[in-house]
Structure 1
Amino acid sequence: MRTLSRPSRRRSALFKGMAAALTALACLVVQAPSAAADDVCGQKVGGDILIKYQETGGEGGPLGCPTTDEMTTPDGRGRYNHFVGGSIYWTPETKAHPVWGAVRAKWEAMGWESSKLGYPVADELTNADGTGKRQQFEGGTLYWHPSYGAHPVWGRIGEMWSQFGWEGSYFGYPLTDEYPVAEIKGVMQDFSGRDATLWWSPGFDNGDTNHPVCKGECVGYKSPTNTEWVKKTEIARAVEGGTISGNVDISVIPTAAGFDDADTSYDRLWDQSFSKAPYPDKWLNAEQGSSLYKQLACHARYSYDLGGGPLSGDSWDLEGWAPDVSWDYAMNPVLVPTHLCNWYEPA
């Protein structure tokens, strides 16, 4: 019986290695969506896309018949099929997910997977209210409600919105996409609840001095309160070390009646100030809350005009980082001109 020489054995080992590599490559190819494509309504649908299509009900499901063969996305990263009722998109990282209805229409309008949203990473879900829908993408989430349409939520605005409880919170659903606002060098987004607007800024100067919180990156929200004593309340929060912090600045804009009469009931004034823009109690402790209450009372008490405008200012600014002080320090007419209702160190 003939035995293999050393060179022959090396060649044999080489051939075996090549065969193993080819087998592994074949396995990878089989896992691609186009593998084992079926003819569905005259179009080719295969692999993970076919599996997801069958999970949705196939031809009898919401997608209906395919209108294209499986295609490669322009960035070369993913695959997709279009169907009568929507599309299925796949990448190795995000897997296969259907996109349909108003969410798909919005995603298409934004530029499909080349938009800031990127590829879908989950199927569409129904929200807790049983009415709205949402679908998560690589760069954010598209929310839809029949009364408000479909809008993406992402970034710091999305992060802060989530801290309050998403669409089930005070703020409700997004009414608009983000839109640029030159005044804050950032963006704003309107929401359905309490006429609220959420905003983000990389930092801005609000006129004479830098904003106490927004010298650097910050987020916030505001609502037109339109109560007897308060026109609007706005809350700003600093972003520090990549995290939205508890450093809070609150601006209460009083009405004419507020300037005249708000000192008759500090409790009523407090309730009106936060009747729409929620009080940020998650980021403030009891001592800080006490300080804020005294700051607001001081502003209301000393809102009379000395000839150069109200002593307490046109807007009543409350600093969440200011320490608590005694009522005497907060309201003493001799001391008020020195701290102007905003203090950093107690007397």
Structure 2
Amino acid sequence: MGRKLPAALLLAAGIVGSLIMGTSPAAADEVICGELVRGAILEKYKEMGGQTSPLGCPRTPEQPTPDGQGAFTHFQGGSIYWTGSTGAHPVWGAIRDSWESQGWERGRLGYPVSDELTNPDGEGRRQQFQGGTYYWHPTKSNGAHAVGGRIGELWGQWGYERGAFGYPMTDEYNAVQVGGNLSENTGVRQRFQNDRFLLWSPGQTNAFETCHSECVGYLGVTNEPWVKQTEVYTNLGNGKRSVHVTPTDAGFEDADDDLQENWRQVWANTPLFPNATQTEINSVSKQLYCHAAFAFPSPGGGHFGGPTWDLETWRADIPWDSAEALRTQCNW
């Protein structure tokens, strides 16, 4: 639903518009389709092709934004928003609909700082705002969704929409069991293509060691015979990394039968942690075997070692040549 212009402002807009705080810089004003369009908003509108552009005819004269920092004009096909620091930019379609639902410029995304741009795939679109960037694809994104903050940084490191996670499928949302197994381990998730998620946790002392302080991570829903999902976390303070595998019932029983197949299933839908050294891979794979081999049923329910197999990349790669080495590697 568009914002409605107060009657008093409608009456005064053409007379004292230049005196209203937040209006765009003075320029030749024009009445178009019966509405006054002016300043930087008019310049952007003309640049886009005026009435022949996707915006069509204006529906309101220029109005100041509620925060007093800018101005906007609504058109048939969208809006143009302006501030002195961001310039004038059109917003329309699914991106505008989502931005409106989040509170316009007063929401977490703030004002647009770019026009809508075409992604390298030639199909998707993106538009940058002060608090993040909206992404949209006609078939891959399930609407328009903004990516920003720590999750946006991590997504960028993986190559944005061209990388391992593809387009965002949801907005960010608060979730439990982020960074740890407990319901009080709360954080933020955002779903991307192919049942993959990016994660952020502020850090909690009862979480995984990697997430005792602020961490980011990613998760792949695997649904393999032995593995439900795999999570990878990195501590933003000390760089520690860990892998957390959630086995199926069959995994608890049978995953020690074939270490190579178990390893494949762990990474079936989750990217291997970046820049992995051979020492880290050796250590993590041996820890995986240890958990699978010693995941005995617990008298109190569940399995010895807990509901996830926690694999820590900083543990040394110890040879398999003795029972004591095995016990050390398994951290028992």
Range of TM-score over shorter length = 0.7 to 0.9
What corresponds to 2:13 in structure 1?
Answer: none
Q: TM-score, normalised by structure 1?
A: 0.80
- Comparing both structures, which one devotes a greater share of its residues to helix? 1
The partner residue of 1:298 within 278, 283, 290 is 290
1:145-172 deviation per Cα after TM superposition (whole angstroms, max 9, x unaligned): 2340112211111111111112222222
What corresponds to 1:167 in structure 2?
Answer: 161
Q: Distance in 2 between matches of 1:276 and 1:102?
A: 29
1:273-305 deviation per Cα after TM superposition (whole angstroms, max 9, x unaligned): 0111111123x3222222112211222233345
Q: Distance in 1 between matches of 2:326 and 2:48?
A: 68
Contact 2:24 2:83 survives alignment (8 Å) = no
Look up the SS of the partner of 1:281 in the other structure: coil
Q: Which runs of 5+ in 1 are unaligned?
A: 1-25
What corresponds to 2:6 in structure 1?
Answer: none
Shift of 1:223: 2.2
Q: Distance in 2 between matches of 1:110 and 1:169?
A: 27
Q: Which residues in structure 2 correspond to 1:187-198 (within 5 Å)?
A: 187-193=188-194, 195-198=195-198
Is residue 2:124 matched to residue 1:141?
Answer: no
1:99-140 deviation per Cα after TM superposition (whole angstroms, max 9, x unaligned): 011101111111111110000011111222332221110000
What corresponds to 1:333 in structure 2?
Answer: 323
What corresponds to 1:229 in structure 2?
Answer: 226
Contact 1:34 1:70 survives alignment (8 Å) = no
Is residue 2:47 matched to residue 1:43?
Answer: no
Look up the SS of the partner of 2:323 in the other structure: coil
Shift of 1:259: 2.8
Shift of 1:204: 2.5
Q: Cα–Cα, structure 1 residues 306 and 42, in superposed 2: closer, same or farther, change >3 Å?
A: closer
Contact 1:222 1:235 survives alignment (8 Å) = yes
1:154-191 deviation per Cα after TM superposition (whole angstroms, max 9, x unaligned): 11111111111122222222222222224322222222
Look up the SS of the partner of 1:318 in the other structure: strand
The percentage of aligned residue pairs carrying the same residue is 50
Q: Which residues in structure 2 correspond to 1:104-253 (within 5 Å)?
A: 104-147=96-139, 148-182=142-176, 183=183, 184-193=185-194, 195-206=195-206, 210-240=207-237, 246-253=239-246
1:257-280 deviation per Cα after TM superposition (whole angstroms, max 9, x unaligned): 323332333222111101111111
Contact 1:311 1:340 survives alignment (8 Å) = no
What corresponds to 2:46 in structure 1?
Answer: 54
Please tell me the residue identity of whatever aligns with 2:122: G
Shift of 1:310: 4.7
**Which protein is bigger by CA-based radius of gyration?**
1
Q: Distance in 1 between matches of 2:296 and 2:120?
A: 49
Contact 2:147 2:171 survives alignment (8 Å) = yes
The partner residue of 1:276 within 256, 269, 273 is 269
Q: Distance in 1 between matches of 2:148 and 2:69?
A: 23
Please tell me the residue identity of whatever aligns with 1:324: D
The partner residue of 1:256 within 234, 249, 258 is 249
Q: Cα–Cα, structure 1 residues 54 and 342, in superposed 2: closer, same or farther, change >3 Å?
A: farther
Shift of 1:212: 0.5
Please tell me the residue identity of whatever aligns with 2:78: G
How large is the Cα RMSD of the aligned pairs?
Answer: 2.5
